[in-house]
Structure 1
């Protein structure tokens, strides 16, 4: 392989990594937005103290989260995913127990974590240093 062939190989590898990173970031942004919107349905039900609707909305959210969680586990720090899982487990139990203040607090934390993960994984100067 000549000198230019080596440069070309390095260039192709860098392009593949860059495009792959952009696609992963796009997936994280899209799925986080979908999960956030779904979880906000739960929050609206909690605001109105509609516990049955809250349970139904949470069940739909939880089903979507199980699918996304498996994919996120490939690229996201497991501590972040575990934090979301813990908040969601507590939220589920607070909804079941009809605990207004506690469920709203856990909802807020879970929503913040879901929206924070794509930002944390984004390639920025702040995240590099």
Structure 2
């Protein structure tokens, strides 16, 4: 009897942990994507000072988010985002519309990919 109670509690804890991590990844990914939306507008309008400020917001938010995501997501994905952010920083500094826009699109794809692959659904379970 005691063993089944312990197993039941562990299953509940795992389910709650999975739900929390899924919600955190979805929420933080959405926030990062909103920053990307804003930055895309700034780059499109050639507002490079605002784009640099937008980059700093993304980077700051990412540094906080990365601390938790590192425990939940593969490190290769984290490294890909870090590299993409560094490239974006340089493209914005160079005021290169084409490269900054393409890097923003890549960054968006990386965030969306993580949110999709970490979602708790039947496709990802099996």
Return the TM-score normalized by structure 2.
0.94
User: Which residues of 2 match residues 23-42 of structure 1 at below 5 A?
Assistant: 23-42=20-39
| Residue 43 of structure 1, aligned match among 31, 40, 45 | 40
The RMSD of aligned alpha carbons is: 1.1
- CA distance in 1 between counterparts of 2:28 and 2:125 reads 23
Q: Tell me if 1:123 matches 2:120.
A: yes
Q: Which blocks of at least 5 consecutive residues in structure 1 are unaligned?
A: none
Return the TM-score normalized by structure 1.
0.92
2:19 partner SS: helix
2:120 partner SS: coil
Query: Which one has a bigger Cα radius of gyration?
Result: 1
Q: Which blocks of at least 5 consecutive residues in structure 2 are unaligned?
A: none
| Residue 95 of structure 1, aligned match among 85, 92, 95 | 92
Other-structure match for 1:76: 73
Stretches of 4+ aligned residues off by more than 6 angstroms: none
